[in-house]
Amino acid sequence: MASTRARIAIDAMGGDHAPAEIIAGAIRAQEELDVEVLLVGNPKQIEFSLKQHKTSRQLEIV
């Protein structure tokens, strides 16, 4: 049986210091846990925050 990566959706706009802290955690989770991450929220704010981080992994914005 083929193994599949877990896919998780994260509310990038919820919580303290969002979306910057949420995105930092999502990037870390993707690197350490090898999961696929979907970021949910305002695309412009999420894209701005993503540019502040250097990552080779792709995070999908929905």
Q: Model confidence at 60, in pLDDT bands (50, 70, 90)?
A: very high
Residue 37 burial by Cβ neighbours in a 10 Å radius (0-12, 13-18, 19+): buried
Report if residue 11 sits inside a domain. Answer: yes
Q: Which residue has the tokens 């706009």?
A: 13
Total domain count, the chain:
1
Please write the tens of the pLDDT for every residue from 2-58.
568 899 999 999 999 999 999 999 999 998 998 999 999 999 999 999 999 888 778
Q: What is the pLDDT of residue 55?
A: 80
* Residue that has been written with the tokens 């949420």 in this structure: 22
In 12-62, which ranges are E strands?
A: 36-40, 60-61
Whether the CB-CB separation of 12 and 18 falls below 8 Å is answered with yes
* Residue numbers of the domain that contains 17: 7-61
Q: What is the pTM of this model?
A: 0.85
34 within a domain of the structure (yes/no): yes
pLDDT of residue 37: 94
Q: What are phi and psi of 48, to 5 degrees?
A: -60, -45
